[in-house]
Structures are given as structure tokens and as C-alpha cells.
Amino acid sequence: MTGPDAPAALSATGLGFRYRTRGGWALRDCEFTVPGGRITALVGRNGAGKSTLLHLAGGLLRADSGELCVLGTAPGTSEARARVALLAQDKPLYPRFTVADTLRMGQKLNSAWDQAAAEQPVREGDIPLHARVGELSSGQRTRVALGLALGKRPELLLLDEPMADLDPVARAGIMAGLMAEAAERGMSIVLSSHVLPELEETCDWVLVLRDGRVELSEDAEAVRESHAVLTGHADQADVLAGQHTVVQRRTAGRQTTALIRQRGPLRGDWHVERPRLEDILIGYLQAGDPGHPAPAERTEAAA
């Protein structure tokens, strides 16, 4: 179901999860809504809670506090399992099975199985159906695991760093196929990845985690339009915090560079640039860390 009355792909209220063996909270007090029909970039540094959130949504873990809903229902229920597919980072597959055996298993476990959709990423990678999974490269195993997920014809596809072991050409081809699926069928996709430039080109919603808490959950274009990188005299810096949300700021000598979320008209003499989504996300992930330059300074240095 798509459209304005469709349930959110993911929604959380007070969500928390604790790894007792590690003695800490992986997620805590998370509140967000991801609309249906979107391709969502799930962004965070290592240990921010991205994999934990995807495993909760896929029904592999249970929350310790709060509530998480997938497509309007509880994760792990029979209804959710039929509508949600998770491609985990470790891509668990039976090494002794052939590719054909693996897809046949998927067919037996899923009543709405689509064999053509399952075989597409496999055939595009020129992987023989008679090949044993244990003899495939890591990139080829990724294609087989993705075929299992797509053959299920899910309404919500959860991808945890799915293409880290694929070359850029293969990643681009798979992402193009996923975008076509989302557009044609209204499938929701939540994609965790560290490759921020690729996310900027493919995702229309961003969900940012920092230290187990939600920093952003918003339309990607709205994020771009509401943020600015300012450069000006350091004497003006203190005025910013009273008017706008200062995501990240660095002062060098008499000059200040700040990434802000603009909350109204700017006062003062500032040079203003509209940052890329990548720069905004990096700014949120680095906020509060000592020694990191502001996004605009990184870009100038790279140029």
C-alpha cells in the first residue's frame, strides 16, 4: 500500500536496545518516522547503532524499551516477516548449496516468491546457477543474498552495508535497479552505508544516528535547503547560536566557518554557501569532535 494513507516504513517512539554483554545502550530514546515509498540513507559512525536498528526492524532483536513499528505492525510477527526483507552485513548463506539451491530455498519459504526478480542480480553478475555458494567471491555472494531478498518481493527492504565488497560499477548498477524497483512498486528501502557520495545521488530521506540517538530524520532535499555554510569574522560567531542551530563551528584566527541550520534571516556580514548533503551529514557526525574542520574547509582543501 502506497500513498498518503500508507503506514510509515519505520517509526519509533522511545526506542532503546541494550547489549548486556557490552554493558551499554546501543540505541536509546530514539524517536523518528520514515515515510513509506522512500529510499532512506541510514548514516552513522561505527558503533552508532545502525546495524542494531536494522536487526530490530528485521525482527532479529527485540527492543528493551519503547516501540518500533515496520509498515504499521510489530517487527518479527508473521505479517512483518512476509513484508520485510533484511540483507544483513554478514550475508548468511549455506556454503554447500548451489546458487539454484539457495534460490529454491527462498521460493519454498516465501509464498509470494518471484523467481525472475531473484535471478536478476545473479544473472547480471554472470554467476552460474550451478556454482556452489562457498566457492563464490564475496561480491558474488552479495548478489546471491540480494537475489534472495528481492525474490521475496518485500514492501520494505533493509540493507546493512550491502555493497561494501562490490566494485563501483557493480554498485552503481545494483543501486539503479533498486531505485527502479522503488519507483515502479513503491517499495521502501532503508540503506546503511558509509559511501556518502553515492547516498546523495540515490536517497531521498536521511536518518542519522550518533551515539545511539537520532540526530536527523528528514527529507533529503529539505535538509539541503535548510542548511548553510557561513564564513565571516569571528566577532560575529556568538550571534549565530541565538538565531540558528549551529551544527559545527571552527574558528581560526579572526575567521569563523560554521555549518548551520538556518532558522530565519541571517544577520551580519557572511559569505554563504549551500553545502552538499554529504557535507551536512559529515558535519552532524563530527559535531563536537575536536580537530575536525568544517565541511567547507574540507572541500576547499580537497579542491
DSSP states along 234-289? GGGHHHHHHHSEEEEEEEETTEEEEEEE--S---S--EEEPPPHHHHHHHHHHTT-
Residues 17-23: contacts with CB within 8 Å, 24+ apart? 17/49, 17/52, 17/56, 17/61, 17/63, 17/64, 17/65, 18/64, 19/52
Q: Is the pLDDT of residue 171 over 80?
A: yes
Least confident of 30-39, 52-61, 217-226, 258-267: 258-267
In this structure, the answer to whether residues 151 and 65 fall within a common structural domain is yes
Q: What is the mean pLDDT of the chain?
A: 88
Predicted confidence band of residue 6 (pLDDT cuts 50, 70, 90): low
In this structure, the answer to whether residues 147 and 70 fall within a common structural domain is yes
Q: Does residue 8 or residue 298 have the better pLDDT?
A: 8
For the record, the C-alpha cell of 211 comes out as 551515539
Predicted confidence band of residue 238 (pLDDT cuts 50, 70, 90): confident
How far apart, in whole angstroms, are the C-alpha atoms of residue 1 and residue 24? 38
In this structure, the answer to whether residues 183 and 84 fall within a common structural domain is yes
Q: Is the pLDDT of residue 258 over 70?
A: yes
For the record, the C-alpha cell of 295 comes out as 565541511
In this structure, the answer to whether residues 138 and 260 fall within a common structural domain is no
Cβ neighbours of 138 (radius 10 Å): 10
In this structure, the answer to whether residues 51 and 159 fall within a common structural domain is yes
In this structure, the answer to whether residues 183 and 132 fall within a common structural domain is yes
The answer to whether residue 169 sits within a structural domain is yes
Q: Is the pLDDT of residue 218 over 70?
A: yes
In this structure, the answer to whether residues 287 and 178 fall within a common structural domain is no
In this structure, the answer to whether residues 139 and 199 fall within a common structural domain is yes
pLDDT at 301: 27
In this structure, the answer to whether residues 237 and 159 fall within a common structural domain is no
The answer to whether residue 112 sits within a structural domain is yes
In the three-class reduction of DSSP (H, G, I as helix; E, B as strand; rest coil), residue 296 is classed as helix
In this structure, the answer to whether residues 190 and 245 fall within a common structural domain is no
Last residue of a domain, one of 157, 183, 211: 211
pLDDT at 173: 87
Q: Is the pLDDT of residue 292 over 90?
A: no
The answer to whether residue 4 sits within a structural domain is no
The answer to whether residue 219 sits within a structural domain is no
Q: Is the pLDDT of residue 246 over 60?
A: yes
Q: Does residue 119 or residue 23 have the better pLDDT?
A: 119
Range of the domain at 166: 10-211
Mean pLDDT, rounded, for 207-234 = 94
Q: Is the pLDDT of residue 294 over 70?
A: no
In this structure, the answer to whether residues 121 and 28 fall within a common structural domain is yes
Residues 112-116: contacts with CB within 8 Å, 24+ apart? 112/82, 112/152, 112/153, 113/151, 113/152, 113/153, 114/150, 114/151, 114/153, 115/151
For the stretch 122-156, pLDDT in tens is 999 999 999 999 999 999 999 999 999 999 999 99
Q: For the chain, how big is the Rg over CA atoms in Å?
A: 21
In this structure, the answer to whether residues 264 and 173 fall within a common structural domain is no
Looking at residue 294, the DSSP 8-state letter turns out to be: P
Last residue of a domain, one of 211, 242, 259: 211
The answer to whether residue 5 sits within a structural domain is no
The answer to whether residue 144 sits within a structural domain is yes
The predicted model scores a pTM of 0.87
- Amino acid at position 93, single letter: L
How far apart, in whole angstroms, are the C-alpha atoms of residue 45 and residue 58? 21
* CATH number for position 65: 3.40.50.300
Task: Count up the domains in the chain and report the number.
Answer: 2
pLDDT at 302: 28
Last residue of a domain, one of 211, 241, 260: 211
The answer to whether residue 1 sits within a structural domain is no
Q: Does residue 293 or residue 58 have the better pLDDT?
A: 58
The candidate with the shortest Cα–Cα distance to 41, out of 195, 165, 229, 226, is 195
For the stretch 45-104, pLDDT in tens is 999 999 999 999 999 999 999 999 999 999 999 999 999 999 988 888 999 999 999 999
Cβ neighbours of 73 (radius 10 Å): 14
The answer to whether residue 220 sits within a structural domain is no
